[in-house]
């Protein structure tokens, strides 16, 4: 794995020679005190400029997954902000100095950590406070499978649903008949900007495993069922969630139906997973990341003054 990581990183740096002159010119005109990267290709370009002493501005890279691939790794990065100790260990194994790596968690909006008025949210959504609520993130590109499982849940009479279709208009319209015939409340939504509210009243989320989504759910102490994770970062994120006991992976429609039936029939098992989710993250990830960045900038300025 280490050879793959290093080889991938250096190959990326070779490709990043293209177009970096214009990028550097833009940075010099903007004249920042710090550059924060959340995308590996940009991070690699800037880190190489730092290594060559062409760029004088410190570069912070935030790895937004619970794993590392080669494009993230570059000795020119001044500081890494990572999700967990496992990611830190991967970077150290790949040759990054340990003192440059800080476990802050993946930064997310502080609104996910603010106290919520659950009664108000439940009332606003038209939910039944006495029923379990499953939150389904439907933007998978697999509308038929999502509709099938949502139909089964809606017909079960045992749970209520919040279904978020994102920008998938086809899925949204195809779910209208499911919403109309549901035995219990079913909230059908397109693109939303209040995910923290939806997560706060949910007992379970059925979702893909992007790094931010996983972090938001764990921050909200919400158990996850991760449906058909895509090989690569998503699969590694899903493995992390399952490994810490805060969720389960469903690799097929049959596995998904089996898991949901199990959680509906034995809610105490879902509660055990929630307990793992509660202790999964240290919290305040954005605050920790910002504090680390400020310390880096202040230390650099002090060094410049005394140097």
Q: Looking at residue 258, what is its pLDDT?
A: 94
Concatenated DSSP letters for 194-220? -HHHHHHT-SEEEE---HHHHHHHHHT
Rg (CA), the chain: 22
Torsion angles phi and psi, residue 7, rounded to 5: -60, -45
pLDDT, tens only, 279-299: 999 889 999 999 999 999 998
> Which residues does residue 207 pair with via DSSP β-bridges, in sequence order?
226
Candidates 3.40.50.2000, 2.40.50.460, 1.10.1060.10, 3.30.420.40; correct CATH number of 111-278?
A: 3.40.50.2000
Q: Looking at residue 305, what is its pLDDT?
A: 78
pTM of the model: 0.89
253 token code pair: 């429609």
263 CB contacts (<8 Å, ≥6 apart)?
Answer: 204, 225, 269, 270
CB 101 within 8 A of CB 82: yes
In whole angstroms, give the CA distance from residue 287 to residue 81.
Answer: 12
Burial class (CB in 10 A: 0-12, 13-18, 19+), 98: exposed
Q: Looking at residue 15, what is its pLDDT?
A: 46
Pairing between β-strand 204-207 and β-strand 247-250 as defined by DSSP bridges = unpaired
Residues in the chain, pLDDT under 70: 1-19, 139-142, 307
Q: Looking at residue 7, what is its pLDDT?
A: 40
The number of residues making up the chain comes to 307
C-alpha closest to that of 129 among 194, 190, 184, 182: 184
113 CB contacts (<8 Å, ≥6 apart)?
Answer: 219, 283, 284
Q: How many CB atoms are closer than 10 A to CB 268?
A: 7
User: Could you give the C-alpha distances from 247 to 110, 158, 163, 266, in angstroms and in order?
Assistant: 23, 21, 19, 15
Q: Looking at residue 138, what is its pLDDT?
A: 76
Q: Looking at residue 19, what is its pLDDT?
A: 66
In whole angstroms, give the CA distance from residue 216 to residue 142.
Answer: 23
Q: Looking at residue 160, what is its pLDDT?
A: 97
CB 262 within 8 A of CB 223: no
290 token code pair: 């910002």
DSSP class of residue 10 equals H
Q: Looking at residue 67, what is its pLDDT?
A: 95
38 token code pair: 């959340």
Q: Looking at residue 17, what is its pLDDT?
A: 56
Say how far residue 269 (Cα) sits from the centre of its chain: 24
In whole angstroms, give the CA distance from residue 82 to residue 62.
Answer: 6
All structural domains of the chain with their residue ranges = 2-105+285-306, 111-278
């Amino acid at each position: 794995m280490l050879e793959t990581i290093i080889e991938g990183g250096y190959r990326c740096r070779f490709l990043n020679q293209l177009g970096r002159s214009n990028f550097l010119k833009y940075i010099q005109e903007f004249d920042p005190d710090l550059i924060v990267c959340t995308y590996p290709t940009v991070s690699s370009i800037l880190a190489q400029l730092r290594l060559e002493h062409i760029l004088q501005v410190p570069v912070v890279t935030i790895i937004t997954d619970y794993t590392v691939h080669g494009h993230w790794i570059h000795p020119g990065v001044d500081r890494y902000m990572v999700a967990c100790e496992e990611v830190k260990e991967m970077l150290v194994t790949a040759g990054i100095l340990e003192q440059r790596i800080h476990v802050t968690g993946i930064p997310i909006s502080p609104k996910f950590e603010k106290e919520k008025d659950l009664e108000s949210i439940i009332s606003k959504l038209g939910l039944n406070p006495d029923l379990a609520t499953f939150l389904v993130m439907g933007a998978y590109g697999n509308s038929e499978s999502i509709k099938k499982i949502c139909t089964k849940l809606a017909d079960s009479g045992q749970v209520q649903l919040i279904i978020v279709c994102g920008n998938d208009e086809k899925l949204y319209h195809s779910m209208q008949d499911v919403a109309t015939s549901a035995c219990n409340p079913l909230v059908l939504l397109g693109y939303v900007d209040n995910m923290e509210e939806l997560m706060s009243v949910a007992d379970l989320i059925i979702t893909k495993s992007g790094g931010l989504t996983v972090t938001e759910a764990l921050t909200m102490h919400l158990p996850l069922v991760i449906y058909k994770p895509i090989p690569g970062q998503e699969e590694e994120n899903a493995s992390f969630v399952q490994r810490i006991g805060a969720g389960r992976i469903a690799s097929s429609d049959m596995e998904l139906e089996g898991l949901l039936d199990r959680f509906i029939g034995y809610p105490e098992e879902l509660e055990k997973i929630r307990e793992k989710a509660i202790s999964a993250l240290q919290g305040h990830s954005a605050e920790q990341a910002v504090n680390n960045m400020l310390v880096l900038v202040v230390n650099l300025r002090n060094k410049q003054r005394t140097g």
